[in-house]
Copies of this chain bind each other. A is one copy, B any other.
């Protein structure tokens, strides 16, 4: 499991004063990038060095509680390697102060060739980093 703390901002909320739901997926992706940074790597540079992109093929979230602006939250990532080409990032978003669950779901990612967009094997450099938090 890997966890990051985030702050919500004015830019994140909608007219109801709560985080606009697509931003939850952005928060999850921030956690993913910080997981790589925690291993001393920049995810984009690792992708570039391996001539791949890692597009998302599925995303799901259940939103249990609204999150207002100025909130401190934590994103918990539990990555799973699924076969040779796929990573599923299971996530929970919780309130920083109380650990109350605010949202949960997953984002599924495949490795693809950077030019042809054909699916390809997850490079070992990425597999190793991700497995540290599986």
Give A contacts to B, CB under 8 Å.
7, 9-11, 13-18, 20-23, 25-26, 29-30, 33, 37, 42-45, 53, 55-64, 66, 68-70, 114, 117
Closest 6 CB pairs of A and B: A22-B22, A42-B70, A16-B53, A60-B60, A21-B56, A22-B25
Query: Given A9-B29, A30-B9, are A70 and B44 also a contact pair (CB < 8 Å)?
Result: yes
Which B residues are in CB contact (< 8 Å) with A62? 57-58
Which B residues are in CB contact (< 8 Å) with A11? 14, 20, 22, 26, 29-30
Number of copies: 4
A34 to B53, CA, bound (A): 29
A65 to B111, CA, bound (A): 14
Quick check: A14 and B15 within 8 Å, CB to CB? yes
Return the contact of A21 from the options B20, B25, B43, B64 (Cβ within 8 A). B25
A13 to B11, CA, bound (A): 9
Q: How far is the CB of A61 from chain B (nearest CB, A)?
A: 5
A68 to B47, CA, bound (A): 14
